[in-house]
């Protein structure tokens, strides 16, 4: 490899790797705050399990971080080279822009291959393992979900609170039943109780003792002008389903969590069974979406080569903002087309290719125009 190509290649590779790492870190932190932090703070998963889950989040974050990192890295490096007049010096030496950009294409091609591997294999496998480990961690000790002095809002239709817990015994236990608008329709307070896990039915059974129940008007539970019905019971059972606990219920795989071989097998099975077009289209859409997002890595690089050379901004922040604008534009159109997935007649599996193809065509035209100047 020519010394100039090595210089550009490793500069772009290092900057892209740093940008990908930064975006991956930001996306993983967001997932941790959203999905895992609550488990850790309430002691529902161990530190070791948290570490494993954290690593399994990396491929999911890399799905989005790869195209964003390549876009940012190429823009920053070429912007710096252009601002320092290095691009001008190369062209004055008789080198074409196509020759100068070859190392960038090489980095982009490697990133696209990596994105295909992540999207079709590593991310689905990691996400499935993540789901399995998280479900098993909760089910291995389901009584952990009743953390003392904590309002647990993760059971469907209820909020529960235990003042104290000792093994299977709880004290000062509260249950609030909610309607579909999250309004309290009934409230129960027990001085003590006992909890049991029924594994076959995936539920916790609470046998409450010395219970006081307050019932409200189901149609208008927030109307306190009329008297509420208060009753007492010596004991009362309460079932708390674990199927949808913390949004991890069940082990059903989403289409985006399936590998390429699984998606192709599912597509063949649906066609053989004569399933409706919408179901087959959903599978085709999942395949096309993964492939198109990997192709978006190369499309970003094609467009960014021209922008990085032409913009020639010294300020790194300005180039970073430009990269952010391009990413938001791309993912806006990607999201709009993804929404059309519910309408098989418009062939969303083909439309999903419009953003990467559009960016690539625009980049090629601008690059050829710049190279002729």
pLDDT higher at 328 or 200: 328
Residue identified by tokens 């708390």 is 240
Domain annotation covers residue 75: yes
Q: Is 197 in the same domain as 57?
A: no
The pTM of this model reads 0.72
pLDDT digits (tens, 9 = 90+) for 5-28: 888 899 999 999 999 999 999 999
Split into its structural domains, the chain has a count of 2
> Across-strand partners of 98?
none
Q: Is 228 in the same domain as 271?
A: no
pLDDT digits (tens, 9 = 90+) for 65-102: 998 888 888 888 888 887 787 887 888 888 888 888 88
> Across-strand partners of 209?
192, 235
Query: Among 211, 243, 275, which residue terminates a domain?
Result: 243
User: Could you give the CA distance from residue 93 to residue 371 in angstroms, rounded to a whole number?
Assistant: 14
Domain annotation covers residue 147: no
Domain annotation covers residue 148: no
pLDDT digits (tens, 9 = 90+) for 288-321: 999 998 998 888 888 888 777 765 444 455 656 7
User: Could you give the CA distance from residue 114 to residue 131 in angstroms, rounded to a whole number?
Assistant: 23
User: Could you give the CA distance from residue 36 to residue 134 in angstroms, rounded to a whole number?
Assistant: 9
Q: Is 265 in the same domain as 363?
A: yes
Please, what's the b/e burial string for 355-364 (b: 16 or more CB within 10 A of its CB; e: otherwise)? bbeebbeebe
Q: Using CA atoms of 47, 120, 300, 28 in order, give the dihedral in degrees to the nearest 10.
A: -10
Query: Among 208, 243, 278, which residue terminates a domain?
Result: 243
Q: Is 257 in the same domain as 120?
A: yes
Q: Is 302 in the same domain as 184?
A: no
Beta strands 203-215 and 229-241 are antiparallel
Q: Is 132 in the same domain as 177?
A: no
Whether the CB-CB separation of 20 and 65 falls below 8 Å is answered with yes
Range of the domain at 272: 3-139+253-372
Q: Is 98 in the same domain as 238?
A: no
Confidence of residue 117 (pLDDT cuts 50, 70, 90): very high
Q: Is 62 in the same domain as 108?
A: yes
Q: Is 44 in the same domain as 116?
A: yes
Long-range pairs, 357-360, Cβ under 8 A, ≥24: 357/299, 358/299, 358/333, 359/296, 359/299, 359/300, 359/302, 359/303, 359/330, 360/295, 360/298, 360/299, 360/302, 360/303
Report residue 195: phi and psi, to 5°: -115, 140
């Amino acid at each position: 490899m020519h010394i100039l190509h090595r210089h550009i290649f490793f500069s772009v590779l290092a900057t892209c790797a740093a940008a990908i790492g930064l975006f991956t870190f930001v996306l993983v932190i967001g997932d941790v705050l959203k999905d895992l932090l609550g488990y850790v703070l309430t002691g529902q998963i161990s530190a070791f399990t948290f570490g494993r889950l954290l690593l399994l989040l990396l491929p999911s974050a890399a799905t989005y971080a790869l195209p964003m990192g390549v876009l940012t890295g190429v823009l920053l490096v070429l912007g710096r080279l252009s601002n320092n007049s290095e691009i001008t010096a190369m062209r004055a030496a008789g080198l074409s822009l196509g020759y100068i950009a070859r190392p960038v294409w090489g980095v982009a091609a490697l990133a696209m291959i990596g994105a295909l591997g992540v999207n079709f294999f590593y991310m689905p496998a990691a996400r499935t393992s993540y789901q399995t480990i998280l479900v098993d961690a909760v089910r291995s000790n389901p009584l952990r979900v009743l953390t003392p002095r904590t309002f647990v809002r993760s059971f469907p239709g209820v909020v529960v609170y235990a003042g104290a817990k000792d093994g299977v015994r709880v004290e000062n236990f509260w249950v609030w039943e909610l309607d579909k608008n999250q309004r309290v329709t009934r409230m129960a307070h027990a001085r003590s109780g006992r909890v049991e896990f029924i594994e076959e039915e995936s539920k916790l059974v609470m046998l409450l003792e010395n219970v006081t129940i307050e019932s409200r008007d189901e149609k208008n539970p927030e109307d306190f002008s009329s008297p509420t019905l208060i009753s007492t019971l010596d004991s009362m059972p309460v079932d708390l389903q674990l199927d949808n606990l913390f949004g991890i219920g069940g082990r059903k795989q989403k289409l985006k969590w399936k590998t390429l071989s699984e998606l192709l097998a599912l597509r063949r099975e649906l066609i053989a069974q004569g399933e409706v077009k919408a179901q087959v289209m959903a599978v085709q859409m999942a395949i096309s979406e993964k492939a198109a997002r990997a192709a978006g890595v190369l499309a970003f690089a094609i467009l960014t080569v021209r922008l990085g050379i032409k913009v020639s901004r010294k300020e790194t922040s300005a180039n970073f903002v430009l990269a952010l604008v391009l990413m938001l534009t791309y993912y806006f159109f990607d999201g709009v087309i993804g929404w059309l997935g519910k309408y098989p007649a418009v062939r969303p599996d083909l439309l999903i290719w419009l953003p990467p193809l559009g960016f690539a065509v625009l980049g090629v035209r601008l690059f050829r125009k710049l190279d002729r100047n």
